[in-house]
Structure 1
Amino acid sequence: MTSLFTPVRIGRYTLSNRLVMAPMTRSRADDDGVPSDLVATYYGQRSGAGLIISEGVFPSAMGKGYVRTPGIESDAQVAAWKQVTDAVHAKGGRIFMQVMHCGRISHPSLLPNDAQPVAPSAIKPAGQTWTDSGLQDFVTPRELSQSEIAGVINDYRMATRRALEAGFDGVELHTASGYLPEQFLSSGSNQRQDQYGGSVENRARFVLEVLAAMVAEAGGDRVGIKISPEMNFNDIVDANPQETYTYLVEQLRSFNLAYLHVALFGAKVDYHALLRPRFNGAYLMGGGLDQSRAETVLADSRADAAVFGGAFLANPDLPERFRQGAPLNTPDKNTFYAPGAQGYIDYPFLSGISAS
């Protein structure tokens, strides 16, 4: 019987269990996007996961959206990430890098030379982002030209290449949470009149071209994609999300991707039932799972692996706690994005389990 503790094939890898650590922004990089020394300890502690998906990493400086988030553009960033992947591999774990270009979900103070954020269309999103001076309102972004779009796609290509140089086992394209790929995909944020806007085929073009670039670097069996239909985070809306995501997932088949990661938060439609039959790789289910529900969806073949966020954040030894039926630590929301070790690498392990 399939359970959280049976092996699973994801892309070119056979994972020891079906617990996946979700990508979670933790803001422990410096102002140049270089992960601090704490980051290797953090991910190394959680290497009991079958697969770790890293926090969102910007492919280029123009993709940064929040203070103290990491990048994969410079040699210093690559070197710091190499320490992270070494720490995970030393304990037998696997780790993919989530590549995250925030697009319009940014602020000039976070970007080179106080540049305007970029987006498919010059539509200001409602809301605010974290900067060095606290919360700041989003601004109206600048619409990307077609030649600039080609440059952004190449940024994803190079980010994939550098992630592999840094020792990552693969990469995940972040196509959720209202960031640049979802901005292109969604009708509310994409009002272009060219080949990247209008029809669902055109709005999906950017995502598919980015995936093609990433697959060209890594091979489809080392590339995954995350989507979150109707999450509506960061002021993202789409007129017909069922049509949009059905079309997108059907187009993924030709890439032979390692996995499709679908996280649902409040959607009334059962997108898992809609999308899983349309995908030809491993299906990762996320969004508010606990151990019992995860075991049920695996046993019913509704997913191949289960993605846990806050539970992994607060419980570095989550797989062992699940094995023993042990109580879980509660995440401290006050330290999610705070610099330093507190609330990051100091969550207690079960007695007798090493924290190193």
Structure 2
Amino acid sequence: MSNAYVLVEYTGDQVAAATAELITAAKVFGAVTAVVVGTEGAHLPLVDTLAALGADQIVAAEGADVASRIVLPETDALSMLAASAPAPIIIDAGAHGNEIAGRLAARLASGVLCDVVGINADRSAQMSIFGDSIEVTAVVGGNSPIYTLRPGAVEPKPTPGAGVVSTFALPAATVKDVTVTKFTPAPKGDRPDLAQAKVVVAGGRGLDSAEGFSNVAEPLADVLDAAVGATRDAVDLGWYGPQFQVGQTGVTVSPDLYIGLGISGAIQHTSGMQTARKIVVINNDEDAPFFQIADLGVVGDVHEVVPRVIEELKKRG
């Protein structure tokens, strides 16, 4: 039976939602080996979940200094596995995943495709390019082709696997390693994480100011238990933090519901959210491009429409 490796994304004892998508995508190759990189025993609370998601094998690559090293532990783990048993490798797309993919491609002399939206059994993949205006199928070579999968591009379809566990030790750090000497996590609020949120309320220039976010977007998000996002323009103007930027050069999201407030719908933004299942747009410009991909569009001033929506939502509990 053919095999594929998936790099597990997790925090503490919780498997990230992206991992379910990676395992589903990897199933086209047959059996799935989920690779957990961490300190000794870090994989133990993840085993049942990974097996339920479809992992046939779970390999724990362990090292005492993993937390203080950047990128190389994951690169070491996957390259060691693929060198002994070549197979496709699937990683979550993003700055971290794409960096690992590039290093793996160099080590394994295999091709790499980044930010794919679908993977096929013949090792080709679908890609959405030029701001998602063109869809292409690309073919990658090498004994262990590498793919980074765009978050939200694949609907998870868990099919329980055997979940057979094995472990091996990672190589020790060398003088060439980049190590973390101090780490301060970004402060987290009470709202859901933007990349994983089921509902996203995003604001653009139409909110007019930073106060537009605090007085319009955030109250709506709080009623809906949603994350707040922003367009690049809004971030560049200093109205909202750069970690909340949605789009080509920001976070890619794929929520069940996306509400755009005062957003025109430029490709730079829509390429980062157009896989949302339902899209609602509120804008006073009836010719805004965003209406073309919206499931529901409201032509009106967000400062007038949104407070009424919030009031109605509160009435309905």
TM-score by length of 2: 0.29
Greater per-residue strand proportion: 2
TM-score by length of 1: 0.27
